[in-house]
Amino acid sequence: MESYLAELNDAQRAPVLQKDGAMIVIAGAGSGKTRVLTYRIAYLMSLGVDAFNILSLTFTNKAAREMKKRIAQIVGNSEAKNLWMGTFHSIFAKMLRMEADKLGYPSNFTIYDTQDSQRLISTIIKEMGLDKDVYKYKQVYSRISSYKNSLITVKAYFQNAELMEADAMSKKPRLGEIYKNYVDRCFKAGAMDFDDLLLKTNELLNRFPEVLQKYQNRFRYILVDEYQDTNHSQYLIVKALSDKFQNICVVGDDAQSIYAFRGANINNILNFQKDYDNVQMYRLEQNYRSTKNIVNAANSIIDKNKTKLEKVVWTANDDGPKIIVNRLLTDGDEGRYVASSIFENRMQQQLSNGDFAILYRTNAQSRAMEDALRKRDIPYRIYGGLSFYQRKEIKDVLYYLRLLINQNDEEALKRVINYPARGIGQTTIDKLTITANQYGKSIFEVIEHLDHLDLKINSGTRAKLTNFVNMIKSFTILSENADAFTVADTVAKKTGLIQELKKDSTPEGVARIENIEELMNGIRDFVEGQKELADTTGSLAEFLEDVALATDSDKDTGDEDRVALMTIHLAKGLEFPYVYIVGMEEDLFPSGMSMNTRSELEEERRLFYVALTRAEKQAYLTYTQSRYRWGKLVDAEPSRFIEEIDTQYMDYMIPQDDYKYKPLIDADIFGEVDKSKYRQTKPSRGTPPPAHKPSEEQLRKLRKLRPASGASETASIKDTVALMVGNKVEHIRFGKGEVIQIEGVGQDKKAEINFENGGLKKLLLRFAKLKVL
């Protein structure tokens, strides 16, 4: 046996050794699903499967890099380099570049980020003379995005009377036109947005059978991690590519499906057996990540969900300490408690900052944590939120770089044409835009042909415009031979960006220059990494693609020792020795927006399961008595999820009533935690958790896979979002009533209801607590 195969248990080895066919591994958190994928790839390669014939789709690019590294250790770097591994977006962006001409796109198409897309939509709304309070650009953007993810193209939209009517009913009859204009403008700019990367891949595979065949033949072996969170568009791509050889291995955990709100479809995992012939189903049961207390506590949580596949998760690891629950007065206290606890644990257990993670439900909660960590001089890194690449000074450099790669990139051009200021005013830009729209050309092309156009622009401005275009062209020429670092460095200096920033000597101004330096270092690392790991030149185009598709946890280079702060959604797939889950309060977690239906509440519970199962050694849960929310101090109630955990796995550390929380002083930090300050309000009780593998009979009982109840369950739940005109409903305050009218979709869906007690009321469904009768 190959020696690395000994690093797997029998259950893990089985799907690794099955070379061909369709297989699904369904297993709980920390049971080695990702490890199975990694070793399976290494094993396939050792059997002689060419790396070029393997496609592996992961949830983050970071996960892909880590898997590739491990595979390289087993099979050697020169082979591993050729593997196609990454997120759906990054892999299919690469494929689209190779086939772009078929869809009428340039291969150097730009990828618009959310900001670019929203800005363009806002421009279009303005140009069409529409009321921006009715057509809110962010709402319009998310509507267009959901159409794209359901593969509703502009053409399909205009053929769908129901959709058009729904938009008209929600007072947005011209949404279809905005959609059309947006798609046209992106096309003209040679740009795709995030959703296009999946939509256009589907289009490519559907419209061009020869292309489909080419990639079916190429990707003979396909592997997908976190399959439970694939959306419809992604599902169709995987299905199409794997249809010929059916060598497909997907791994997932229905209990960790947490992206339904963004269109992920749990039925993809439940229906897998119907989609392929002779599907082998594998289950892994042993958790290697966490202590018994954590595994058992997590099991007791997920047990409360009705819609789930029954699974066994056990561990041979130590019991470990119990989960600590602590109540604090305010979020400031919560931050101080967490910071002190990290400080103590780090000292006492000789740990690094990187061993700790703080997880929260919403990004806004990070501020209190940051303040407290800063006061303690504990280095931290926030994932998500406003990411490094979203900062203005960084985006300015990136927009220049984008423009020199694709001169039709309108959003980029508008951002840099007069920054740093070079005397090109808004009126001039407006004139150029109108002309560009008239001729169906880009603004860049209009400037190039300025001499032949009858535009009222004076000669001084004309000269400035020509200089600008010539400068960009000179960068383009440079980029054809130089690597990304050389180009970026030249751009930062020659455009005057750095000089502009140097004018500002405030600490913020200095920080901006430092950020640009960090960007340059990042580009240099990227160039070296590309040469080393992927065997390419590290061109600017490659770098921009990497940035555009960086997932939020990708920026962890691992070379800095910091506490990780992130939302639970971002923590999926990751693991940390110590995990603090903060803000365990009703309305916050579970979120107040997600408690209307059983399915929403169950998704929140799965999110809690994900959070808890990130911890290897110890988990902490904290909640406050009052918290500032929307600018007001409100009383907080402990989350129902705390109550749902079996008490035998918990230690409740609740300050005595007369105990006023005070920031811990150094004496407290170096000594033991003074437990006399606390009383255990809920002493542990009950029998201890099973300390060993369950008996065969217990396992047999547990293993009886309940029929996938997902689909019928969801349908049977009276989901207010499925509400129809004519339905009879009941409201806590207004009593019984009948639905008269429905408008809007998704988050914005409203119903007009005639109540017995309250008369006619219009209610936003995601907030209205309605029972359907």
The residues of the shown chain that bind ligand ATP, judged by CB under 6 A, are 7-9, 12, 27, 29-35, 253, 256, 288-289, 573, 575
Residue among 566, 537, 541 at smallest CA distance from 554: 566
Catalytic residue among 99, 116, 226, 355: 226
Closest distance to ligand ATP from the beta carbon of 699 (Å) = 18
Closest distance to ligand ATP from the beta carbon of 240 (Å) = 26
Strands 110-112 and 356-360: unpaired
Residue nearer to Mg ion on the CB measure, 34 or 233: 34
**How many CB atoms are located within 10 Å of the residue 431 CB?**
17
Phi, psi angle pair for 330, to nearest 5°: -135, 175
Residues 6+ apart with CB under 8 A from 235: 265, 268
Residue nearer to ligand ATP on the CB measure, 288 or 389: 288
Residue 177 contact among Mg ion, ligand ATP, none, beta carbon within 5 to 8 Å by kind: none
Map tokens 């702060």 to a residue: 565
Q: Which residue of 34, 247, 345, 442 would you call a contact of Mg ion, by CB under 5 A?
A: 34
Closest distance to Mg ion from the beta carbon of 25 (Å) = 10
Residue nearer to Mg ion on the CB measure, 225 or 600: 225
What's the per-residue H, E or C state across 201-220? Answer: HHHHHHHCHHHHHHHHHHCC
Residue nearer to ligand ATP on the CB measure, 323 or 488: 323
Catalytic residue among 99, 167, 225, 334: 225
Residues 6+ apart with CB under 8 A from 79: 45, 51, 72
Q: Can you name the residues that pair with 736 across neighbouring β-strands?
A: 730
Gap between the Cα atoms of 281 and 150, Å rounded? 28
Summarize the annotated binding site for ATP as residue ranges: 27-34
Catalytic residue among 33, 40, 640, 749: 33
Gap between the Cα atoms of 236 and 247, Å rounded? 16
- Please say if 756 is a catalytic residue: no
- Please say if 256 is a catalytic residue: yes
Number of residues that bind Mg ion (CB under 5 A): 3
- Please say if 614 is a catalytic residue: yes
Closest distance to ligand ATP from the beta carbon of 154 (Å) = 38
Name the residue type at position 531: K
Residue nearer to ligand ATP on the CB measure, 289 or 627: 289
Helix 459-481 with 484-494: angle, nearest 10 deg: 160
Residue nearer to ligand ATP on the CB measure, 31 or 594: 31
**How many CB atoms are located within 10 Å of the residue 310 CB?**
11
Residues 6+ apart with CB under 8 A from 688: 319, 648
Phi, psi angle pair for 139, to nearest 5°: -65, -45
Closest distance to Mg ion from the beta carbon of 87 (Å) = 14
Residues 6+ apart with CB under 8 A from 640: 586, 590
Task: Report the residue closest to Mg ion, judged by CB.
Answer: 34
Q: Which of residues 14-33 bind Mg ion (CB under 5 A)?
A: 33
Residues 6+ apart with CB under 8 A from 760: 740, 752, 753, 754
Residue 29 contact among Mg ion, ligand ATP, none, beta carbon within 5 to 8 Å by kind: ligand ATP
Residue nearer to Mg ion on the CB measure, 33 or 119: 33
- Please say if 445 is a catalytic residue: no
Q: Which residue of 15, 28, 32, 573 would you call a contact of Mg ion, by CB under 5 A?
A: 573
Closest distance to ligand ATP from the beta carbon of 63 (Å) = 9
Q: Is 231 in the site for Mg ion (CB under 5 A)?
A: no
Catalytic residue among 119, 143, 361, 614: 614
Structure-token pair, residue 231: 């959306």
**How many CB atoms are located within 10 Å of the residue 447 CB?**
25
Residue 512 contact among Mg ion, ligand ATP, none, beta carbon within 5 to 8 Å by kind: none
Closest distance to ligand ATP from the beta carbon of 650 (Å) = 22
Residues 6+ apart with CB under 8 A from 243: 216
Contact 401, 488 (CB under 8 A): yes
Q: Which of residues 385-444 bind Mg ion (CB under 5 A)?
A: none
Phi, psi angle pair for 715, to nearest 5°: -70, -35
Summarize the annotated binding site as residue ranges: 27-34
Strands 380-382 and 280-284: unpaired
Q: How far is CA 16 from CA 2, 36, 245, 250, in A?
A: 12, 6, 18, 12
Residue nearer to ligand ATP on the CB measure, 34 or 406: 34
Residue 288 contact among ligand ATP, Mg ion, none, beta carbon within 5 to 8 Å by kind: ligand ATP
The full DSSP string for 280-315 is EEEEE-B--SS-HHHHHHHHHHHTT-SSS-----B-
Closest distance to ligand ATP from the beta carbon of 222 (Å) = 18
Residues that bind Mg ion (CB under 5 A): 33-34, 573
Active site residues: 33-34, 225-226, 256, 614
